């Protein structure tokens, strides 16, 4: 039986979906964390925003990396090391000639262990982390352990599933990202999400809930005061409210990436209104079949809201199409197939 060995240094929030995929494929007893297969890589490469693992089957070994980072850049050191380079934000036009590159559907952090096992893995992998970094104690260790704590706030993948939506209810809650001269989020993701929130609030007959959750002292709250949520939502409440929402809104997120929300919306079989996507997918989403694309302006977004809310049959077709897309391209089983793991 093949054994999957995962790099303990990788970001566990971005690993978790693929850890679950490896568990589903090989069983928990055949998946473990070790430093030894990754010693040829630099520490900075090993701490990448993704999941490094090797698959050993007898005398053979294959090397994999799933890049969950927000940018379209390819990590050359890891690319040269691995046999398959999966990437959530693949962009073949910007990174041509990458034969190992496999485009993947957006994933999201999932609780892949119960609380006790999460603590055990956090402690055990923190020791491996310190060994790899030659016992240098700095703030990075605190961040490393903090990711396991954040994982406890997530939900098992089995709960991110379709449920019956409510005809006149729209829920949308997201982070109001900080803005600077490089990411310009106030002109991008923040503004586009604000257009959707304002559109929902302007259409009569809609019961809207949610809004932006602030990053105190970091975000431009004064620009979006009319779009702020009354408070934060626990993730399980976010899932439940999203499941009941008649429609949801997607837009390229930080650095114009595919955000976690796109994967979550597809997994929950939502009727998705979306501005144009910036990066590739394993298969393009199709307007009218599994998503409803609108132009990047407030008038088009409001028109999309009105149309979907007044055409329930079309909305239900989009819901079914989203589920079918996720089952074909996004589930852990399908990811393993795309990566030629099995």
* Model pLDDT for residues 45-62, shown as the tens digit of each residue: 999 899 999 999 988 999
- Per-residue pLDDT of 215-245, as tens digits, reads 888 889 999 999 999 999 999 999 999 999 9
- Is the pLDDT reported for residue 135 higher than 80? no
pLDDT given at position 140: 87
In terms of Cα–Cα distance, which of 82, 37, 11 is closest to 341? Answer: 82
Mean pLDDT of 8-14: 94
The answer to whether the beta carbons of residues 245 and 170 sit under 8 Å apart is yes
- Alpha-carbon span 250 to 189, nearest angstrom: 10
- Per-residue pLDDT of 63-121, as tens digits, reads 999 999 999 999 999 999 999 999 999 999 999 889 999 999 999 999 999 999 999 99
Mean pLDDT of 321-332: 98
CA distances from 306 to 159, 204, 241, 252, 289 (A): 30, 10, 20, 22, 18
Hey, where are the domains in the chain? 3-104+112-153, 159-329
DSSP state of 105: -
pLDDT given at position 136: 66
CA distances from 303 to 189, 295, 309 (A): 19, 10, 10
CATH number of this structure's domain 159-329 = 3.40.50.2000
Provide the greatest CA pair distance for the chain: 65
Beta bridge partners of 54: 5, 63
pLDDT given at position 68: 95
Which of 139 and 197 is assigned the larger pLDDT? Answer: 197
First to last CA, the chain: 12
Mean pLDDT of 310-330: 98
CA distances from 272 to 18, 111, 212, 279, 286 (A): 25, 25, 18, 17, 11
Share of the chain above pLDDT 70, in %: 99
The answer to whether the beta carbons of residues 37 and 3 sit under 8 Å apart is no
Please, which pLDDT band fits residue 276 given cuts at 50, 70 and 90? Answer: very high
Contacts of 256 (CB under 8 A, 6+ apart): 188, 189, 278, 279
Q: Compute the mean pLDDT over every residue in the chain, rounded to the nearest whole number.
A: 96
- Is the pLDDT reported for residue 137 higher than 70? no
Please, which pLDDT band fits residue 133 given cuts at 50, 70 and 90? Answer: confident
Mean pLDDT of 21-27: 97
CA distances from 260 to 2, 12, 44, 220 (A): 30, 15, 24, 22
- Alpha-carbon span 151 to 40, nearest angstrom: 28
Please, which pLDDT band fits residue 12 given cuts at 50, 70 and 90? Answer: very high
Out of 177-181, 306-310, 337-341, least confident range:
177-181
Q: What is the pTM of this model?
A: 0.96
């Amino acid at each position: 039986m093949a054994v999957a060995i995962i790099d303990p240094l990788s970001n566990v929030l971005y690993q978790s979906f693929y850890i679950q995929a490896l568990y589903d494929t090989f069983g928990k007893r055949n998946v473990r964390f070790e430093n030894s297969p990754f010693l040829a890589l630099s520490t900075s490469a090993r701490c990448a925003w993704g999941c490094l693992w090797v698959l050993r089957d007898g005398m053979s070994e294959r090397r994999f990396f799933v890049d969950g980072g927000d940018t379209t850049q390819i990590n050359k050191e890891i690319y040269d090391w691995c046999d398959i380079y999966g990437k959530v934000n693949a962009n073949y036009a910007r990174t041509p000639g990458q034969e190992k590159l496999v485009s993947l559907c957006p994933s999201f952090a999932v609780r892949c262990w119960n609380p006790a096992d999460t603590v055990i893995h956090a402690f055990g992998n923190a020791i491996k982390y310190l060994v790899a970094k030659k016992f240098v104690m700095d703030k990075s260790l605190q961040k490393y352990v903090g990711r396991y704590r954040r994982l406890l706030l997530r939900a098992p993948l089995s709960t991110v599933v379709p449920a019956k939506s409510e005809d006149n209810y729209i829920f949308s809650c997201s982070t109001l990202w900080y803005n600077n001269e490089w990411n310009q989020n106030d002109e991008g993701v923040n503004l586009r999400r604000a257009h959707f929130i304002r559109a929902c609030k302007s259409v009569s007959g809609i019961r809207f809930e949610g809004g932006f959750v602030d990053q105190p002292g970091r975000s431009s709250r004064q620009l979006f005061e009319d779009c702020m949520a009354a408070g934060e939502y626990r993730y399980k409440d976010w899932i439940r409210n999203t499941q009941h929402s008649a429609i949801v809104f997607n837009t390229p997120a930080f650095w114009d990436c595919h955000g976690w929300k796109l994967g979550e919306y597809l997994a929950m079989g939502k009727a998705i209104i979306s501005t144009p996507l910036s990066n590739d997918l394993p298969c393009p989403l199709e307007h009218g079949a599994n998503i409803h694309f609108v132009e990047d302006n407030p008038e088009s977004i409001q028109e999309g809201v009105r149309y979907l809310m007044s055409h329930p049959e079309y909305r239900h077709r989009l819901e079914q199409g989203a589920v079918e897309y996720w089952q074909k391209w996004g589930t852990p089983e399908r990811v393993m197939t795309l990566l030629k793991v099995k």
